[in-house]
Amino acid sequence: MQQLDTAKDLRAWRGEAGGSVGLVPTMGNLHAGHLALVAAARASCDRVVVSIFVNPLQFGPNEDLDSYPRTLDADMRALEQAGADAVFAPDVAQIYPHGGTTVTTVRVEGITDMLCGSRRPGHFEGVATVVTKLLNLVGPDRAFFGEKDFQQLAVIRRLVDDLCMRVDIVGVPTVREADGLALSSRNQYLQAEERKRAPALAAALEDCKARLAEGERDFAALEARGRAAIDAAGLETDYFEIRSPELFAPRADMNAFRVLAAAFLGRARLIDNVAVEAAPGQ
């Protein structure tokens, strides 16, 4: 496995890589969810490159950029064992050569103004910009993203379509702990007592999923029920919303939905979502 520190190194590796190439973009501090992305890439591509870059452009002024965990040595060991062929681990100057921000950014309209986008101004512009840069640098056949960050996945799919990029965006199902908590690098912010309460977020989503699958369509009541359950468990609900699979407003005649939620718990802001497929006629 090769470690690539510069854009020049990456382009040289890409020029020599034969067959199909899969890209797994990450911010490091890897866990089993990230390694599931690597496994999916490994299963469908001849070569796999993983990027590790804590992107300053997607952090707000009061967010955890400085304290975000950076564990490059451990990440490298995990990726070698997982079968990655290369790791692109640039510094900020490689991605933003004109400083910590960039004069050219990518904004995806519409679906970035809701949910996490309405709570974190500029976040998805930062995500869209760095992903566009990585796709341009690597030129992968496929790029792999976790469904836990479902709004992010939707934004990336839209930008690839809108910018006519020749890459397939692959969503990989969320990896969870045994009690349902979605894996996240920010879970390590949780204290022991907070960790016990954290699965309430997934439980509220599953309850809503079951009720939608059974035919309930009072979306406002279901959302209120979800918020109440999360708050009752000692979390602070940020949002709990029912959307279409494309993140549009839901309709009562739909049979497919995506339920998305975010909540604060101690230092952590947890996000999660579930897909709902109801039988026709429900």
Hey, which residues are catalytic here? 34
* Residue that is written with structure tokens 């979605």 in the block: 182
- Measured CA to CA, the distance from residue 264 to residue 198 in angstroms comes to 10
Closest CA relative to residue 146, chosen from 175, 127, 171, 124: 171
Q: Which residues pair with 143 in a beta bridge?
A: 23, 169
| Distance, CA of 50 to chain centre | 15
Within 13 Å of residue 270, how many CA atoms lie on the same side as its CB?
A: 29
* Residue that is written with structure tokens 């809108």 in the block: 162
Give, in order, the Cα–Cα distances in Å from 196 to each of 37, 175, 180, 187: 27, 18, 11, 11
Q: Where are the alpha helices (DSSP H) in the chain?
A: 7-16, 32-44, 72-82, 92-95, 115-119, 123-138, 150-162, 192-197, 200-213, 219-232
